[in-house]
Amino acid sequence: MPYYGQPVGTDWEEVGFGFNRDVLTDLLRGRLGFDGIVCTDWGLLTDAPVFDELFPPAPGVPST
């Protein structure tokens, strides 16, 4: 499970691993051949407004 850390001082974009396309797609799927489901964090965007839309909490997670 990728998490909130981010690659620093690498060729990858310095954004959190849960949002990092290069790490998730190129490294994990392309180079390492992983073809399963990647769950970065079920509640990563819980209760966070994104483009004026408020995402509902994940099942079992109380809203804030």
Query: HEC profile for the chain?
Result: CCCCCCCCCCCCCCCCHHHCHHHHHHHHHHHCCCCCCCCCCCCCCCCCEECCEECCCCCCCCCC
pTM of the predicted model, to two decimals? 0.54
Query: Which one from 22, 35, 41, 47 is the annotated catalytic residue?
Result: 41
Domain boundaries, the chain: 1-64
CA 10 to chain centre: 18
One pLDDT digit (tens) per residue for the chain, 64 residues? 667 788 899 998 898 888 888 888 898 899 999 998 887 666 665 666 667 766 666 666 555 5
User: Is 47 a catalytic site residue?
Assistant: no
Q: Which of 39, 46, 52, 51 is CA-nearest to residue 1?
A: 39
